Amino acid sequence: MSQVTQSQTTQTTATFRALKCKECGEEYKLEAKHVCEQCFGPLEVSYDYDALRRQVTRETIQAGPNSMWRYRAFLPVATDNPIDVGTGMTPLVKSNRLARRLGLKNLYIKNDAVNMPTLSFKDRVVSVALTRAQELGFSTVSCASTGNLANSTAAIAAYAGLDCCVFIPADLEAGKILGTLVYNPTVMAVKGNYDQVNRLCCEVANTQGWGFVNINLRPYYSEGSKTLGFEVAEQLGWKLPDHIVAPLASGSLFTKIYKGFQEFVKVGLVEDKSVRFSGAQAEGCSPIAQAFKENRDFVTPVKPNTIAKSLAIGNPADAVYAIDVAQKTNGNIESVTDAEIIEGMKLLAETEGIFTETAGGTTIAVLKKLVEAGKIDPDETTVVYITGNGLKTQEAIQGYIGEPLTIEPKLDSFERALERSHTLDRLEWQQVLI
Ligand SMILES: *Cc1c(COP(=O)(O)O)cnc(C)c1O
């Protein structure tokens, strides 16, 4: 607590001012706290927007680092030296071949499959959470993860010299486990699903005094996702898109892209405009999509059963806020099957050269479904958010993507194989292989 006060008095530029309950509006000091004592609602960071308007211009942002920290004034940290490992400012790619395949004229891909350091959007939220963890005096950081968060927390903690203990469901993909262990944190592989991991972590947070990035530091952590909104607005030439499509696990990312756009409007960096928000879930874990379809403002928790493990949260914390955003922006929340997710991964790879993980396959498959249902206008400037890298979920597509042609190191062996590959068209190949 004393550290918060100290860092704030030494920093005249800090624009974040309180933690505020999203339900009842009660305000709290900027501590490691995530639940309202009055009504148990979630806490969110609030800012002094007048100060932001005075401090920030397009030019001051462009003069900042080529990372997410160019938007530091909009993030809940006081220091001028945040943990910056080059996270953010990932490519916004104008889609040609995927757009044509889907019949869209203005499709863009925000490619966080190449985010640094661990190839998913989680590096954004963790960069903020660990910077804030240091400011609040934590020496050990932790998380309850569906995979990517463990990778990010372990990597960035290693860089920052923080002790790290992460919790994951024991049945995660090999790439996500290996991609955590290499940074040498303590890894607790819990025999249970994510929701059980999360419940355990809530208890540990109370007993160990650690900084859990997505529990007691959640208000700070989640703000990092706003940078996915800021970057898209800046990369579109300081304009908002017409429509965005993003994946939903807890629903946090989705709501924070919305908050990011709103903030840029509020401080006069972009013109106001209605942006439609559409969300993507895997059918095997689609509590938010189901509630949206049935017009409910509450979710019924589910037991996840899908290859999209990074999205497999059966009792999502920000579901009601995500549904609210989709409803008030005239968007949609859809779900797709595991088979469609694999097709989505292949489609993005074959048309754009981007290898995404199952979460990205989910998002592309939902994009396709929405276009086919007439729920995305071909002329709309649409941004699809690709949040993770396919190298981490290789088992999902094993057996669905063909095989190399094995040949002798001889010209005639090559020529015979080439001949054979020409006579078999793609479809036949797939039938042979499936
Ligand atoms: C965690 C994650 C998400 C969703 O995050 P929420 O903010 O919990 O909705 C999306 N994509 C990938 C790859 C993730 O790891």
Per-residue HEC secondary structure of the chain comes to: CHHHHHHHHHCCCCCEEEEEECCCCCEECCCCCCECCCCCCEEEEEECHHHHHHHCCHHHHHCCCCCHHHHHHHCCCCCCCCCCCCCCCCCEEECCHHHHHHCCCEEEEEEHHHCCCCCECHHHHHHHHHHHHHHCCCCEEEEECCCHHHHHHHHHHHHHCCEEEEEEECCCCHHHHHHHHCCCCEEEEECCCHHHHHHHHHHHHHHHCCEECCCCCHHHHHHCCHHHHHHHHHHCCCCCCCEEEEECCCCHHHHHHHHHHHHHHHCCCCCCCCCEEEEEEECCECHHHHHHHCCCCCCCCCCCCCCCHHHCCCCCCCHHHHHHHHHHCCCCEEEECHHHHHHHHHHHHHHHCCCECHHHHHHHHHHHHHHHCCCCCCCCEEEEEECEEHHHHHHHCCCCCCCCCCCCCCHHHHHHHHHHHHHCCHHHHHHHHC
pLDDT at 427 over 70: no
What is the pTM assigned to this prediction? 0.94
C-alpha 11 – ligand 1 centre gap (Å): 32
State if residue 122 touches ligand 1 by the CB under 6 angstroms criterion.
yes
Average pLDDT over residues 311-316: 96
pLDDT at 433 over 80: no
Name the closest-CA residue to atom 14, ligand 1: 310
Length of the chain: 434
**pLDDT given for residue 424 in this prediction:** 72
pLDDT at 10 over 80: no
Average pLDDT over residues 231-253: 98
State if residue 250 touches ligand 1 by the CB under 6 angstroms criterion.
yes
Name the closest-CA residue to atom 8, ligand 1: 250
279: phi then psi, degrees, rounded to nearest 5: -115, 155
State if residue 222 touches ligand 1 by the CB under 6 angstroms criterion.
no
User: Pick the residue with more confidence: 195 or 2?
Assistant: 195
pLDDT at 2 over 50: no
**CATH for 92-118+223-397 (3.40.1160.10, 3.40.50.720, 3.40.50.1100, 3.30.70.3270):** 3.40.50.1100
User: In the β-sheet with 211-212, what is the strand arrangement from edge to edge?
Assistant: 186-190, 163-169, 140-144, 211-212
Q: Which tokens in the block code for residue 92?
A: 């916004």
State if residue 392 touches ligand 1 by the CB under 6 angstroms criterion.
no
State if residue 247 touches ligand 1 by the CB under 6 angstroms criterion.
yes
Average pLDDT over residues 352-376: 98
pLDDT in tens, 50-64: 999 999 999 999 999
Pick the atom of ligand 1 nearest to 357's CA.
Answer: 13
CA–CA separation, 215 and 143 (whole Å) = 7
The least confident of 5-14, 60-69, 84-93 is 5-14
**pLDDT given for residue 3 in this prediction:** 41
**pLDDT given for residue 128 in this prediction:** 98
C-alpha 433 – ligand 1 centre gap (Å): 31
Confidence of residue 432 (pLDDT cuts 50, 70, 90): low
Confidence of residue 137 (pLDDT cuts 50, 70, 90): very high
The least confident of 1-5, 279-283, 286-290 is 1-5
pLDDT at 41 over 70: yes
**pLDDT given for residue 297 in this prediction:** 86
**pLDDT given for residue 422 in this prediction:** 84
C-alpha 391 – ligand 1 centre gap (Å): 16
CA–CA separation, 216 and 194 (whole Å) = 17
Most distant CA pair in the chain: distance in Å?
Answer: 78
pLDDT at 345 over 90: yes
pLDDT at 337 over 70: yes
CA atoms within 13 A on the CB side of 88: 27
**pLDDT given for residue 147 in this prediction:** 96
State if residue 252 touches ligand 1 by the CB under 6 angstroms criterion.
yes
**pLDDT given for residue 1 in this prediction:** 36
Average pLDDT over residues 326-342: 98
Q: Calculate ∠ Cα 109-330-41, nearest 5°.
A: 95
**pLDDT given for residue 431 in this prediction:** 58
Confidence of residue 7 (pLDDT cuts 50, 70, 90): very low
pLDDT in tens, 225-240: 999 999 999 999 999 9
Give the best-scoring range by mean pLDDT among 3-7, 369-373, 401-405, 427-431: 369-373
How far from 116 is each of 37, 87, 128, 196, CA to CA, in Å? 36, 5, 14, 29
How far from 225 is each of 154, 210, 309, 422, CA to CA, in Å? 19, 22, 20, 46
Average pLDDT over residues 20-41: 97
pLDDT at 13 over 90: no
**pLDDT given for residue 191 in this prediction:** 97
Pick the atom of ligand 1 nearest to 322's CA.
Answer: 9
Closest CA to 79 of 35, 21, 137, 125: 137
Kindly report, as residue ranges, where domains of CATH 3.40.50.1100 are found in the chain.
92-118+223-397
Average pLDDT over residues 200-216: 95
